[in-house]
Structure 1
Amino acid sequence: MGTAVTSAILAVAVPWGPRPASGGPGGLVVHEWGVNCIRIRASDGTQVMNPAFLDDLPPFAATFEGTREILRILQNEDPPPSSGDAPDAPPPRGGGDGKPIVYFYPSGDVGPVSFRVRFVRGYATAVWPVPGRIDGEPTRPWPSTEGGWVLPYATPTRLAWEGITLSAQPFSEPAGVITDWVGTARDVDAAYVNVEQPRDQSGLGGDVRSEHFLFYDGVGGRETPLRFTGSRDTPTVRNAGDRPVTDLFLCHRVGGLGRIEYVASLAPGESRTLDLEPRRHAVDEDAFRAAARSRLAECLVRRGLYPKEAAGMARVWEEDFFGTDGLCAIHTWTREEYDEDLPAEVTPVPAEFVRVGLTWIANLPLHDEPGDPGE
């Protein structure tokens, strides 16, 4: 899914689902995951937006006027570090957080739920259902269009869904599954979130939309601290940041053959050189992808996600991570980084709030070794 893009889905599970270890009656557990999508520009090493964060937006999602400028930038093969047409927008640098998904697991009756999130480095680009408040004010009416709702905001930074009602059955039929990831995101033990929608300029709306989650995409701006040198077959990765980088996966795929290496932790200043020559470790593509997906899901469970959530996250991103030729890197964010970029407030206060973020650096621009067919 240069600038970081964040999508979030909020789902709330009721007593039939997993219960918080410390919650008890009225307790609430919140789980969120997202992916920070980065592309490194070959010409100068600048970290820019990876267009994957806007891939597969469901047609029922609402976008913002500013999203069109992001799309224009991404249509360039090698996007500029900033856009002259949108001087008020943060420059499209850093990674893109795609499809963050937040699941709420209450035990007992927790009453209406609210979720508020703020973009510190960037701004929102898409939402579903439409939140009742944007940038601290009631959501402004928008023109009716046939191609999906376009909300009249350029770079909104604050989103608030308030008065969400949770239920075992939806109040209204959820929108049809047009993109595979939506169906995967719904395959959880979560309650339905039922959200009253604002009205558009024609007076339409005001109905209740039901979903297993809340969703938002956005531009975030965080860069990876990792630096890469060497070749695709034997890359050297160095942590140039001041925090450890954990759960690092490096994946090299060529013509259906894949090789993946895992580094549990890379300390600040530490470097590692890895053997990623796929043909020396030939594995059937199906077996490679299944093993990579399973290993990633295990990592996500260790980070605090429930098994269904972790398996869903791995399935949603499998094609991007493990199905495309080239060299890519994946690593986890720290919780502090997640909260720094996207501070969130949940009401009622949850007994547990897990946020698991991945950074995906796609198609690293390293050279081929002799005889390497490359991409």
Structure 2
Amino acid sequence: MPGSSPLRSWRAQRPPAAGAAVPATGILSIGLRLTGYEVLSRIALALAGAAWVALAADFVVRLLWEREVWRAAAGTPAALTAVAATAVLGTRVSALGWQSLAGALLALAAVLWPVLLVDVVRHWGRRMPGTMFLCCVATQGLAVLGTTLARAVASAWLAHIALVLFWLGLVLYGLALPRFDPRQVAEGAGDLWVAGGALAISALAGARLLGAEGGGLYLWNEEDSDALRKVTVVLLILDLSWYAALLLAEVRWPRPRYDLRRWATVFPMGMTAAATLSVAAAVDVPWLKGPGQALLWVAVAAWLAATVGGGPGRPRVRQVQSTAMKMLATVSRPTRPNSGFSTFSSSRFT
């Protein structure tokens, strides 16, 4: 395989879950756009795009020259991060009006999704870590991007496929939940937060489906819209409940030692913020915007902490982690959100 020895050594430390930096940064870009911070949003988008290109290049290199390594990684839940990353990036790109690129990203994610999903589900067992909920995250990511693109190009069939994916994502969540090891709440490195992130992206998908008719499409009758609205609200409530419960678990069983897997924390935090803001608009509940904005800035703080912690200056890492946790608890209390440090386990993030 081409490449220098240092390069191969660097890549060896970057398993599939390292791609968590892409959806984490991408969802911050979406949240910042929803709150009117367009310049910051585009900066985050540029960073997410650059990280996605690196992720895609690494994926191709492994597929072509390290087939055995690729096959082993493809069977882990973290492999589905590639689908989630592509879907989140495509969703933000669509908002810029680049529908052709968004469509290409949707097609790529749709091709990867069944291949990786089937392999991952085949390896399911008992007492699994939180990464198993990525089956729901990846599926709902496709639903979000599909609905966003459907509204942009006025495509009813695409919206209906997105609706099917939305319900399928909830089924996958239900199948994963009994296999989740509850001991992870106290003992896990943090990947249990993916359980909350999966509910958050499901709520976001529901909000996007509710708003799809705003593009001139007539998709759902009154009964269907009412059912979808109720499910979306329930999903957001469950997500916020996870957020609060897992934050309390972090306080009860602190994990002061910094781990690069904490990068994945930003994704569910940012996704909860984006879901809260989107549901507030979709179901016309203006007071939810305040908590959504607060959650967004907590996610931004976590992103900064992960960036500082993952770079040079490791002696300061514990201090950064401790400060981030204190900020999290302080900012979260007034709005009673559902916050926490999510990690896609079994891998390190940079």
Taking structure 1 as the reference length, the TM-score comes to 0.26
Higher strand share: 1
Higher helix share: 2
Taking structure 2 as the reference length, the TM-score comes to 0.27
